[in-house]
Amino acid sequence: MNQQEQLSVFDMFKIGVGPSSSHTLGPWRAAHLFLQAIEKHGSMSTVKSVSIELYGSLAKTGRGHGTDIALQLGLCGFDPVTFDVNAITSTILAIQQQQQLLLNGTKSISFNPEKDIVFHFSESLPFHPNALTASALFEDGSTIHETYYSIGGGFVVQDGAHADANSAFNSPKFKYSIDKASELLAYCDQQQLSISEIVIQNEICLKKEAEVRTDVLKIWNVMTACIYRGCHAKGELPGGLRVTRRAEAMNSKLTGDQRYNDFEEWTDVIRSGGDHFKYTLDWVSCFALAVNEENASFGRVVTAPTNGAAGVIPAVLLYYVLFCGTPPHRAKSKESAEDHIIRFLLTASEIGSIFKKGATISAAMGGCQAEIGVSSAMAAGALTELLGGTPRQVLMAAEIAMEHHLGLTCDPIKGLVQIPCIERNTMGAIKAITAAQLALNSDPTKAKVSLDDVVRTMWNTALDMNHKFKETAEGGLATEVPISLSEC
């Protein structure tokens, strides 16, 4: 919960690697911050050894979420946005076999992942359940120790800092300062602008509008590439649960013997099947499954606002493009079609930022309501704007979606972002569409619960929720399903 934090669309949507924004992307970014700390202390060439200690949820579900893998890749200086995900296994295997790590790509140090990454399963630090302390020993005998908190959605806070080091917190001030939905609505009323129009006015305080458009479309391109890969990948997911991928089988069943060569041709095939309810429902589920199966496989995904909930927003936006709007490659005006995609993601990001500021987007703090619940609210509001809803109806849709995720626990079996996480993305997507339709057919002035009300309720529910249901794999399905949890 961090009011007065300035969040850009590019803070809420980050390109990275699965399976977890808080347990994979966050620690990866924390390792980068530690490399900077090393440089400030002295020279990278004088480092003798590095070790990392994990606490709380990072320790309890860290192995299942790939925290140790992310830390090693981060210490090597690799960028989660561009690193070849197909090289993850070979890179980690080489570190294990050679007991060597190339720190920041320049200094070779002895490194044994089994000893130099320590999991404190029974210890937590006070600020946040996702904590790690990184230490470095230099050749002159000096040491440095830095503690970082991965607070959800790939955001990282250094101990003693007030905000994520890479967010827009210290950037030029936004035109419209927004912490609450009521403030957002007031700006919309005063300026007679939609929510996406308010957001773009803030974004151009940071970069030119053309850059904003280009970079938002890059995010969408990563999302669609992820959906397409996931719909065409067979096999089992890693981690030992032997979960079979389902998106490919669903795609094959739905497309039949129709042929296509790329994403555009594939979407033409999908649209040719019509838009009746069951067909549309199957595709929305397939899109969401595809993203989160890729996420579970250390694939390239976009935090939306987290990795565990990464499938909801792409599924709902592709639903709009294919069944409600016009695909860019088929539109009379490509720019007009792209406008819809940009408006969707801008609106969704603002709703997500309100939840982050007023509550949390970390499952380790608030359970799965903070991930699937928030992503569903984001998607519901964004879809409502594209379908012609007023700003009040947009916020009403977001409220409805979250209201019916309140109290949802995070109980990943074996600490993996697979069961129940993958299926929950399908539920979040369908609820978002339903919430949008309800809001569009309602008078928001007669609503009894506001979005700000539900944000406060979600936060209070998070505070009251037992720690067993906050991404620890110590309660719920994680303990009721008879599977060994050796790391816990």
Q: What is the pLDDT of residue 170?
A: 54
Phi, psi of 380 (to 5 degrees): -60, -45
pLDDT tens track for 7-56: 999 999 999 999 999 999 999 999 999 999 999 998 899 999 999 999 99
pLDDT tens track for 386-421: 999 999 999 999 999 999 999 999 999 999 999 999
pLDDT at residue 3 greater than cutoff 60: no
Q: What is the pLDDT of residue 485?
A: 41
pLDDT at residue 488 greater than cutoff 50: no
Query: If residue 101 lies in a helix (H) or strand (E), which one and from where to where?
Result: strand 100-103
Band the pLDDT of 293: cuts 50, 70, 90. very high
Kindly report whether the global pTM for this prediction surpasses the value 0.95.
no
Band the pLDDT of 5: cuts 50, 70, 90. confident
Q: Which long-range contacts (CB under 8 A, 24 or more apart) does 40-45 make?
A: 41/136, 41/138, 41/142, 41/144, 42/138, 42/142, 44/103, 44/104, 44/106, 44/107, 45/106, 45/107
Band the pLDDT of 240: cuts 50, 70, 90. very high
Peptide bond into 420 cis (omega under 30): yes
pLDDT tens track for 45-67: 999 999 999 999 999 999 999 99
CATH dotted code for 20-169: 3.30.1330.90
Whole-Å CA distances, 120 to 82, 131, 311, 360 = 31, 10, 31, 24
pLDDT at residue 486 greater than cutoff 50: no
Cα 217 → chain centroid: 17
Task: Locate the domains of the chain by residue range.
Answer: 20-169, 170-480
